Each structure stands twice: as C-alpha cells, then as structure tokens.
C-alpha cells in the first residue's frame, strides 16, 4: 500500500510571491500571507476517495481532472490560503456574496481615517452603452466632482471624531470608494467559486479584476487544480436536456427545435449559429488561370534540342 504524503508542502513558485503585494487597480493589492497544501495533497485525497485506500501510484493531473469532472470537490478542501486584501468598500458586499470565508477587517474604526480612494478608469465599468462612452472632458468633470465629495466627506468625518462622535457612527459617512484592508482566509474550493462568480457578467468589472489576481496567485500554489478548474468549470458550458436533444437533432440533419431566448442562450453557449450558412462553405469559382498540358512528344523534342525543323517541301513536276 502506497504511503500518503503527510509532510508540509513547500511550493517554490508560491514561496517566490509570499508576503509580496500583487497590485490591483490604482491603489489596491492582494498579498499571499500563507498557504497550506498543494496539488499533491489534492491528488492524495482524490486517490483515497476513488479507491478507498492509498492505492497504486497514479498521475496527479489525471486524478484531479477526474475528480472535478465527476463533481467531487472534496479533495480541494486540502488546500487553504491566507491573504491580505486592500480593496474599496463598495466591493465588500459583492465579495462576501461570492464565497464562504473568514475575514478580519481593518476599517474606519481608528482615529486616523484611511486616505486612499478608488478612482475608476475612463470607461465606466457598468456603462449600459459601451459603444458610446462619455468624452474625456465629461469624464474628468465627473472625477473632479467625486474628488470634491470625498474631501468634503472626510473633512466632516475628522470634525465628528474631534467632537467625540463614536467611531462606529463616523464610519457610516465614509465614501464607498474608500480603500480598506482585511485578512481573508479561504479554502481552495471557495476560492475557485469566488473566481467563478467574480467573472460573471452580473458583477462589477472591479470584482473580476480581483478574482483574476486571486486565481493567478492560487495557480502558484496548485497549478494542476486551477488548470482543471478552468477546463472543467470556468471555461466549460452546461447544457440543459432540451439543448442536448437539439445537439443530437443537428447531428442528424434536423432543424433546431429552439426559439426565442432559449435559442439565443444555446447559440451563445456554442459560440456560433449552427443553422447559419457561412460564406466559406459555398464553393467559389476558381480564378486561377489554367495552362494546357503539353504532350509527352513535345517534351521529348525539347529535351533533344528544341523544336523540330519543318520538312522541306518536295518540288512537284
């Protein structure tokens, strides 16, 4: 029986970024404080789950991919992370909704208020008309108004603190763009769920940026597990029973039995419209000039020394 690894996992790629800030946005960051486990731990757990004992040596990649394909996320619980996160206040509710984890925040409950604020990029993250973004002049005016509002709110907060107003009350007046820091302890399963929900279209672009940074940090610790997650879950598509039946009908040459929004969702999952004929499938007339083939006798004459001489005409009596 194969012995299961029980020693502490040390991942060289993870050690290189340990306690180093990974920047996100203008002033935010994520910092990996500590980690527990790695791909080897996940593979050992998957091996025990599949065979009931340690069993023979099996490829770690195959074990982890098979576990996720079968919907078995229990082996992912063998890996955990501790982060320090600096993020705007308005992202905290979205962050908490995306996954289950433990946090310890550093917020406005201190005599010295935080002075960093998030400044959105030129394109509004939630613009309903992305093809017509506001002009740079209008955008700069909006950013100037936001800056004035932040300065005014912070000034009021400082005055309230000097007047003896409780810090918990003063905190309510902080702008939602104020940066705060917290410690985030999360298991790999919930971390991957966070990245999955963070990339969905219903969430703000900013949470997706943090999800991307968190995923790339997790890749340093367990690259095979993150690779399997991307292949099996993140970049995969779930088809309903009717959609699977439609795929079978298309394979038999039958028309698509879906309509309306159901058809739009199906086409979006496929990435193309199966009933739309492409121009590439229509044969185009060839424009290449064809030259008549030369006979074998002509080729032989040329090899012998060029064109044959014309026969001399015999004089007629």
Q: pLDDT value at position 203?
A: 60
Instruction: Provide the whole-model pTM.
Output: 0.74
When pLDDT is averaged across residues 267-280 and rounded to a whole number, the result is: 76
Q: pLDDT value at position 1?
A: 44
The angle formed by the CA atoms of residues 134, 209 and 199, to the nearest 5 degrees, is: 95
Most confident of 57-71, 105-119, 275-289: 57-71
Across 50-54, 220-224, 256-260, least confident range: 50-54
When pLDDT is averaged across residues 169-174 and rounded to a whole number, the result is: 86
pLDDT digits (tens, 9 = 90+) for 16-53: 999 999 999 989 999 999 999 999 999 999 988 776 54
Average pLDDT, the chain: 80
* Percentage of the chain lying above the pLDDT 70 cut: 74
**Per DSSP, what are the bridge partners of residue 187?**
80
Contacts of 68 (CB under 8 A, 6+ apart): 228, 229, 232, 233
249-270: string of b/e by CB count within 10 Å (b at 16+)? eeeeeeebebeeeebeebbeee
- Contact between 229 and 238 under an 8 Å Cβ cutoff? The reply is no
When pLDDT is averaged across residues 69-77 and rounded to a whole number, the result is: 91
Confidence of residue 295 (pLDDT cuts 50, 70, 90): low
Q: pLDDT value at position 199?
A: 77
DSSP state of 292: P
When pLDDT is averaged across residues 89-109 and rounded to a whole number, the result is: 76
Alpha helices (H) in 75-222, listed in sequence order: 92-98, 136-162, 167-170, 188-198, 205-221
* Percentage of the chain lying above the pLDDT 90 cut: 32
Query: 69 or 256: which carries more pLDDT confidence?
Result: 69
Please give the helix or strand (H or E) that residue 36 lies within, else none.
Answer: strand 28-36
Place of tokens 């039995």: 257
């Amino acid at each position: 029986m194969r012995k299961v690894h029980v020693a502490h996992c040390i991942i060289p790629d993870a050690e290189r970024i340990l306690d180093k800030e990974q920047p996100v946005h203008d002033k935010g960051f994520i910092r990996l404080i500590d980690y527990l486990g790695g791909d080897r731990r996940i593979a050992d757990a998957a091996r025990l789950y599949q065979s009931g004992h340690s069993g023979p040596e099996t490829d770690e990649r195959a074990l982890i991919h098979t576990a996720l394909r079968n919907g078995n996320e229990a082996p992912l619980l063998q890996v955990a992370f501790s982060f320090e996160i600096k993020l705007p206040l308005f992202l905290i509710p979205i962050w908490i909704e995306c996954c289950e984890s433990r946090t310890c925040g550093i917020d406005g409950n201190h005599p010295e208020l935080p002075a960093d604020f998030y400044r959105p990029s030129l394109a509004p993250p939630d613009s309903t008309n992305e093809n017509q973004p506001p002009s740079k002049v209008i955008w700069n005016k909006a950013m100037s108004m936001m800056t004035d509002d932040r300065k005014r709110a912070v000034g009021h907060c400082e005055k309230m603190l000097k007047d003896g107003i409780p810090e918990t009350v003063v905190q309510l007046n902080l702008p939602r763009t104020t940066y705060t820091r917290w410690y985030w302890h999360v298991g790999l399963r919930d971390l991957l769920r966070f990245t999955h929900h963070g990339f969905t279209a219903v969430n703000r672009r900013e949470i997706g940026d943090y999800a991307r940074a968190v995923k790339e940090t997790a890749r340093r610790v367990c690259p095979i597990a993150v690779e399997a997650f991307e292949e099996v879950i993140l970049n995969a598509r779930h088809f309903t029973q009717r959609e699977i039946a439609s795929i079978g009908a298309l394979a038999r040459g039958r028309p698509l039995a879906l309509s309306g929004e159901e058809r739009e969702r199906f086409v979006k999952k496929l990435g193309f419209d199966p009933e739309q004929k492409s121009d590439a499938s229509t044969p185009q007339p060839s424009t290449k000039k064809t030259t008549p083939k030369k006979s074998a006798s002509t080729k032989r004459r040329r090899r012998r020394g060029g064109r044959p001489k014309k026969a001399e005409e015999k004089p007629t009596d």
